[in-house]
Amino acid sequence: MASITGKEVPDARLLLVGEIPRIIASVKDAGAAKAMAQGLRDAGLAAFVCGDSELRSRSVGLAAHVVIFRDGAALFRDRPGREVSVEPGDVFLILRGRVKSAAQETISTTKMTLNVPATVLAGGIPIVRQVTRKATRESFRAEDFVRIFDRRSPDPRVEMFQNRLDYTFLGPDLSPSAPANFEILVRKLRQWFPLAIFDDRLTRASKADVPVAGPEERLEVNGKLIYLGYLAIARMAQP
């Protein structure tokens, strides 16, 4: 690998360390990138080429609100009523992740304090006044999501967010807790699509190999790398 990438052996070894598939080189010439990837594949490594714009593009998939499993297929419907039907054999990857967002909230506290000047003017009779203070506090929220991919595109066919689903489709399995319902949904998805790869690495904190604008772009970049990594492995296994 060191001879293929032009890096020193210790540096080349470090590029193979990490939970997320690593970007081992950034080159401007597409031909050189493809030749390097082929050299790595010839050495027995799963390698792929991905453009920077493709890596950073926002994943677009149907944002499901309702999930129905019938007639051997899963039907996903969003709020406006658009639908996507997915056959069990069409799913290549089920990717679970967690997005964290910061929100600011204003907190008001009210208390009664002694109004000293008014008390003096009143001859010592205690006069109190109401004082309201406002403070801004930053809170962090986490929401799990799951995306379903086929082999045709690094964009998901469907994505589901923990707090944006109508869980009544769970029937008797329905729980009062959204996190518990989401766990049931993920379990059912794995049962409905038994041939699909399941990956939950995006639920854990990880860095990106390229500069990113924030945590959401980091999720997008790492999600694409995970998908393309599995696709490269699958293609290597083909006769």
Residue 140, pLDDT score: 72
Q: Are 182 and 188 in contact (CB under 8 A)?
A: no
pLDDT in tens, 154-179: 999 999 999 999 999 999 999 999 99
pLDDT-derived band at 9 (thresholds 50, 70, 90) equals very low
Return all residues near 71 (Cβ < 8 A) that are at least 6 apart. none
Among candidates 98, 100, 95, 92, which has minimal Cα distance to 21? Answer: 95
pLDDT at 233 over 50: yes
The structural domains of the chain, with segments of one domain joined by +, span 50-103+138-237, 104-137
pLDDT in tens, 63-99: 999 999 887 889 999 999 999 999 999 999 999 999 9
Among candidates 228, 238, 237, 220, which has minimal Cα distance to 50? Answer: 228
Q: Between these two residues, 3 and 113, which has the higher pLDDT value? A: 113
DSSP one-letter string for 15-40: HT-SSSPP-----S-HHHHHHHHHHH
What DSSP character marks residue 72? T
pLDDT in tens, 187-215: 999 999 999 999 999 999 888 888 888 88
Q: Mean pLDDT over residues 117-125, rounded?
A: 72
Residue 227, pLDDT score: 95
Distance CA 34, CA 232 (A): 13
Q: Are 221 and 208 in contact (CB under 8 A)?
A: yes
Q: Mean pLDDT over residues 33-49, rounded?
A: 87
Tokens in use for 223?
Answer: 């999600």
Q: Which residues does residue 160 pair with via DSSP β-bridges, in sequence order?
A: 146
Instruction: Spell out the alpha helix ranges (H) of 43-136.
Output: 52-56, 116-121
- Phi then psi for residue 165, to 5 deg, are -110, 145
Assessment of whether the complete model's pTM goes beyond 0.75: yes
